[in-house]
Structure 1
Amino acid sequence: MTNCKSQINFCGGSNQNRCVARHLCRIGLESGTPITDWRVLQGGDSGCVSNEICCPKTEMVNNRKPTNTQSITRQCGHINSQGPILTINNLKDTTQEGELPWMIALLDASNFQYVASGSLISANVVLTSSSVIEIFNENELIVRAGEWDFHSNQEQGRHEDVAVRQIVRHSSFFYETGANNIALVFLARPLVLTDHINLICLPSANRNFIWNRCIVSGWGKKNINDHSYVNILKKIEVPVMDRLTCQEEIQSFYNLPFFLDKSLMCAGGEIGKDSCKGDGGAPLACPLQSDPSRYEQVGIVNFGDGCGKPIPAVYTDVSKMRPWIDFHMKWMKDAEPFDPAVFPMPRHDSTPNIILIEPLLSCNAGRDEAPWNMRLYGRTLSFPLLPAWQTLQGL
């Protein structure tokens, strides 16, 4: 997935039409804010990219609005439900441009390909999972804030790319269970906070949540069989599930023992509503109980089975990780230079980039007799039944 500039001059089958930014065309500007319909974008928008419109020359205007790049003072967790620049009607599981200003795309620095998602929790700190970036060093990642559509660089709220100063991974991350799957990415410089680049709130430590419907977002696949990731940031509404119910549902679904580590939580379980491959490290965000118009990050996309099955997905519980987050943010602020003895680098290996957790079957057994295909987004592992499940039950 790369960021490319539109090369289109004409559109709609006429040389009298041009693809222009939506606020530069009178069509759709009747309310003062550009408005379009998601079905138009899905139909190709006459050959224009998502945030442009095929406009007749006679309807073009020149009053270009300046992009808001000035620093702002705004509380964490605010969303732009109608989009700060463009409103898209009839959206389904897709965000408005700039709707979730805390979303971060982590890119491979060698080719600017999308790797994983994260969230902005401070002007210079990104929260993500350890598993999705374990094979990357600091100079191999780019942090992109303010992204919406990877197929366009014509967004009115332009994205910003920043190098990575340091990656801090949880030293107790355990592959077999997904426990403590969390990492902090410290930026080389702080981001300027704007309407479309802003922070998400974090819950207090070990908080008991009122179970709610929340949103998970990212640029991963919509369906497990899709051949590519989405280019426009998606947003899926999922129900948060209590730990005991989640553990029982997973056990029942597979008829296998399963123990949910105390660092984990669950959400989802509704058919067709789920995070998916490529969403690793993305935030699970819930409305603040004190102010439902703002959001806090309660989870980090960790692992699950396929996408959209009637079984909950597992997330890293941010409230359980809050003391770890606070400690390392303070340590990195106060400590200079970085001490590798305190934050050891993870091992690097050639493990493929898909997760497979399956029981060890006898030579005469078929996979259908004991299916277990859990994915840890962004990494692949396989291990036998007895050691793995004894470990799961023993934590």
Structure 2
Amino acid sequence: MEDVDDIAEEYMFPWMMALLETSGNYVGGGTLLSAELVITAQHLTDNRTKDQLIVRAGEWDFRTDSEQFRHVDASILLIVRHPEFNKNNGANNVALLFLRTPLTLTNHIKPICLLAKVTRLDYKRCNLSGWGKKTSNDKENMKVLKRVDLPVVQNNMCESIYRKYYGNEFNLDNSGAQAWSLVRTLAEDFCGLQDFPGVYTNVARFQSWINEKIMEFEPEPESKPLLLQKHSHTT
């Protein structure tokens, strides 16, 4: 059953993308960085090719097509995965999805504003959104876009909790930001456990890599400003 308190308002997160298999099965979330570029977690793309995935923009409720604006499905031209991804500790868990055709930007489909530099977020609060399973006991993903407000905790606190389950040799990579998660974690087995922090990639740490790949793979990059130099704040 859907928890009304957790439902995001329609068009509240217009940069929130759904990554789907071509069959329509939900894979995970992504974030729109420009009309033709989406960033997502690399592990979601593992063992899948660009032809096995699509990006859905403007989605809110998977149960209906009666939203004010319809969603748009976009095919993927290219998947660029970070070469130093480490699935054991979540390091560099990023992948870029270059879309075959740029999306038309509207009120319900628009890029996110990103931090212009790496900023410490310890003890601040953040908004998480997505359609994933709410707890590890759930058998199905949520149908309506969810919003969860969570505090960010220090890296060493998060690492000490993970070591209780993975041993003292576990080291959390500094490319992650930690939040007390009710939605999704680095370890899927612990998803939804109270007081177990989820680990989310700190995208600001990958500005140079993202800009490098934009220049390398986007057509005529010299005609556009670098993506992450256009934005100076986040919401």
AA in 1 matched with 2:183: S
Aligned to 1:333: 218
Would the aligned equivalents of 2:30 and 2:39 in 1 still touch at CA under 8 Å?
yes
Aligned to 1:247: 159
Distance 2:148 2:182 in 1: 7
Name the CA shift for 1:200/1:130 in 2 (closer, same or farther; >3 Å).
Answer: same
Distance 1:128 1:183 in 2: 5
What is the CA distance between 1:306 and its match in structure 2? 2.8
Would the aligned equivalents of 1:178 and 1:302 in 2 still touch at CA under 8 Å?
yes
Q: Does 1:101 align with 2:14?
A: yes
Would the aligned equivalents of 1:206 and 1:319 in 2 still touch at CA under 8 Å?
yes
Distance 1:335 1:171 in 2: 24
Distance 1:193 1:303 in 2: 34
Aligned to 2:33: 121
- Give 1 or 2 for the bigger CA radius of gyration: 1
Equivalent in 300, 304, 310 of residue 195 of structure 2:
310
Would the aligned equivalents of 1:203 and 1:322 in 2 still touch at CA under 8 Å?
no
Distance 1:164 1:207 in 2: 31
Aligned to 2:227: none
**SS of the residue aligned with 2:183?**
coil
Report matched runs for 1:347-358 at 5 Å. none
Would the aligned equivalents of 1:302 and 1:316 in 2 still touch at CA under 8 Å?
no
Name the CA shift for 1:324/1:153 in 2 (closer, same or farther; >3 Å).
Answer: same
Aligned to 2:91: 179
Would the aligned equivalents of 1:275 and 1:308 in 2 still touch at CA under 8 Å?
no
What is the CA distance between 1:209 and its match in structure 2? 3.3
Please list every run of 5 or more consecutive structure 1 residues that lacks an aligned counterpart in the other structure. Answer: 1-40, 43-89, 277-300, 337-395
Distance 2:112 2:55 in 1: 16
Equivalent in 128, 141, 157 of residue 216 of structure 1:
128
TM-score normalised by length of structure 2: 0.85
Aligned to 1:112: 24
Equivalent in 161, 164, 169 of residue 76 of structure 2:
164
User: Runs (4+) of structure 1 moved beyond 6 Å?
Assistant: none
Distance 2:9 2:127 in 1: 14
Report matched runs for 1:197-208 at 5 Å. 197-208=109-120
Would the aligned equivalents of 1:178 and 1:303 in 2 still touch at CA under 8 Å?
no
Equivalent in 209, 213, 227 of residue 324 of structure 1:
209
**SS of the residue aligned with 2:6?**
coil
Distance 2:193 2:220 in 1: 43
What is the CA distance between 1:255 and its match in structure 2? 8.2
Distance 1:242 1:116 in 2: 26
TM-score normalised by length of structure 1: 0.52
What is the CA distance between 1:210 and its match in structure 2? 5.8
Would the aligned equivalents of 1:238 and 1:267 in 2 still touch at CA under 8 Å?
yes
Aligned to 1:134: 46
What is the CA distance between 1:103 and its match in structure 2? 0.7
**SS of the residue aligned with 1:236?**
strand
Distance 1:179 1:115 in 2: 20
**SS of the residue aligned with 1:323?**
helix
Distance 1:256 1:108 in 2: 35
Aligned to 1:74: none
Name the CA shift for 1:195/1:328 in 2 (closer, same or farther; >3 Å).
Answer: same
**SS of the residue aligned with 1:222?**
coil
Q: Does 1:235 align with 2:120?
A: no
Would the aligned equivalents of 2:178 and 2:198 in 1 still touch at CA under 8 Å?
yes
Equivalent in 36, 58, 69 of residue 146 of structure 1:
58
Aligned to 2:105: 193
AA in 2 matched with 1:225: N
What is the CA distance between 1:151 and its match in structure 2? 0.8
Q: Which protein has greater RCO, CA pairs closer than 8 Å, 6+ apart? A: 2
AA in 1 matched with 2:102: P
Distance 1:260 1:106 in 2: 26
AA in 1 matched with 2:77: R
Please list every run of 5 or more consecutive structure 2 residues that lacks an aligned counterpart in the other structure. Answer: 222-235
Once the two structures are superposed, residues 233-283 of structure 1 have per-residue CA deviations (whole angstroms, 9 ceiling, x without a partner) of 1111111112122223333x4483131112222111xxxx5223xxxxxxx
Measured on the aligned residues, the alpha-carbon RMSD in Å equals: 2.2
% same residue: 37
Equivalent in 163, 167, 171 of residue 256 of structure 1:
167
